[in-house]
Every structure is written in C-alpha cells, then in structure tokens.
Amino acid sequence: MATVKNNGFWQRMHFKFRLSVLNENTLNEVWHIRLSRFGMFVFALLLFAVTFALFALIIFISPLRNYLPGYNEDVRQDLMSEVVRVDSISDQLALQTTYLSMIRDVMSGEVESDSITTLDSLAVIQREQLLLERTEVTDEFIRQYEDKERDYLMLFDVQTTAPMITLFKPVKGVITEHYGAEGKHSISLLTTGKENVVSVLPGTVVFSSLEFDHAAGWVVVVQHSNDLISVYRNIGKPVRKVGDKLKIGENIALAPKDKPLVFELWQNGSPLNPETLIAF
C-alpha cells in the first residue's frame, strides 16, 4: 500500500499541465507551455536562485557594498574623516565670508573710522621711549640710594615680572565692572557702539572665534611681546584674522552696541589688572 501511495504521489508530481495563451478575437493559440508540478517547483527554485545571485552581484560590484554592516571599516572611517574635514572647511569659509563682508562695509563707508587709527605708530613708540628715559639726576639719585641702602635691599628679592610699558585704551568707554569684581579677571567697558576696538600693543592675532557663552559675541586674542596677551570679548565681526600682525592702536573690530566690551590682560598665565597699566 505504501508503494502504491508513493507511486500515486510521483505520478501527480509528474503529471503535466498545459498553459495556453489565446487571441481574444480569433481564439487562436498564441503561446503555450507544458509543466508538471515538479517542473513548476524546479522553475520557481531556479528563478529564486537566479534573482538572489543577480542582486548579490549588483550589491558587491556597486558602491552599495559599503553600506553593509562590518564591510570595509577603513572606508567608513575615511568617510567620517572627510565629513569632519568638510565641516571644518565650511566653518573656515564662513569666517572668510564674514571677513570679506566687513571689508566690504569698510570700503563702502558703512563703518565709521575711529580717529585713533590715524595715530602714527612710530610717534607712539618714540613717546614711550621718551617717557621711560631717565635723566642724569635720576641716575645719580638711584646710585646714591642703592649705595646707602644696599644691605637693607639685599634682604628682599623683588623682581618685576611686568615691564614698564605704555598701553593704549582698547576702546573709548566707561568702566562698568572693575577688575576682581565677583572674582573676574577682566574689566567691562560700556561704549556708544560706534567706536573701534584697537590693539593695546603691537602683536599678532592668535585666536578669533564667535562665542555663545558671552552673549553671542566675538572674541579675539592678541599675543604681544614679553609673554603678554590681550583678550577682547563681546566685540563685533573682526576685521583681522588669525596670523595678522597688528600695530599699536590698530583696529580689530567694532565695539558692541548693547553690551559692554570685556577686556583681559594676561602674562605668563597670570591675570593682570588693566586699570593699573592703562589710563582709562
């Protein structure tokens, strides 16, 4: 009985069916195919295998393979590095666009020039040297005082870290917050909003960026001689970029309109009180 049932099963599997396609108007047979159940199963299996192989081939010979999990991690890391590089280039392009916009405003006359920029840097340096010159009377007095008090002065090792220098005011304004208020190492200067922020000494711009933790203002850091650094916060769009050389009294940016300018002085990593070095 089991043999008869098996034979009946295989007979049904090999029994062929005819599939015909007829012309609706003439009822003539256009196309036909004869397939058994077993043949249809084999045909479907072959069709699935060919389709799977075709899709696999398309994936592995096209860039789609880079999206497969775990495939070619080096390429993925390179792509991430390129994305970061494109972001940095976009930021640099934005800074360059801002710089060119400010230059265009200056050339078109929309930005008023400050009279302090007309000062001759050479004359300023000569005036500083004149103020620091000592006369013969001064030298004689110092020599006599040192000879008289030499033994007493040797008990102290007093060294002046900050040299005697003449600094320009960073901007024309009124001090609204003094050095040391609430533990801060800066002063705040309120202006009319039309003055220019200038360099207090000759130096080089070493940092320029837009800050969002200081009322969304720009910050510029200038490196001077004698390890002295000046910091200008809450200013407008800078007209100088990183690496530019500045003369004393040369423009950096416009002063803020509705907020005070925050100014800092640092030397060898220690804050200095600007009010003791600049006549505001």
Per-residue pLDDT tens digits for 136-189: 777 777 777 776 665 555 544 444 444 556 788 999 888 999 998 888 889 999
pLDDT, position 119: 46
Whether residues 153 and 241 fall in one domain: yes
Residue written as token pair 């860039």: 63
- pLDDT mean over 31-55: 86
SS3 244: coil
- pLDDT mean over 112-141: 59
In a domain, 36, yes or no: yes
Does residue 116 or residue 103 have the better pLDDT? 103
Does residue 114 or residue 59 have the better pLDDT? 59
- Burial class of 165 by CB neighbour count within 10 A (0 to 12, 13 to 18, 19+): middle
Whether residues 163 and 202 fall in one domain: yes
Whether residues 139 and 228 fall in one domain: yes
pLDDT, position 161: 47
pLDDT, position 165: 67
Whether residues 138 and 107 fall in one domain: no
Give the separation between CA 85 and CA 105, rounded to whole angstroms: 30
Read off the CATH number of the domain in which 175 is found. 2.70.70.10
Total-model pTM = 0.44
Give yes or no for a contact between 219 and 164, defined as CB atoms under 8 angstroms apart. no
- Burial class of 199 by CB neighbour count within 10 A (0 to 12, 13 to 18, 19+): buried
pLDDT, position 116: 46
- pLDDT mean over 225-239: 90
pLDDT over threshold 70, residue 49 = yes
Whether residues 162 and 214 fall in one domain: yes
Return the minimum-mean-pLDDT range out of 101-110, 232-241, 246-255: 101-110
Domain count, the chain: 3
Whether residues 260 and 276 fall in one domain: yes
Of 265, 261, 256, 249, give the one whose Cα is nearest residue 168: 249
Sequence-distant (≥ 6) Cβ neighbours of residue 59 within 8 angstroms:
65, 68
- Phi and psi for 263 in degrees, rounded to 5? -125, 135
In a domain, 66, yes or no: no
Give yes or no for a contact between 169 and 200, defined as CB atoms under 8 angstroms apart. yes
- Residues composing the chain: 280
In a domain, 188, yes or no: yes
Q: Which domain holds residue 99?
A: 74-111
Nearest-5° Cα angle at 182, 176 to 184: 80
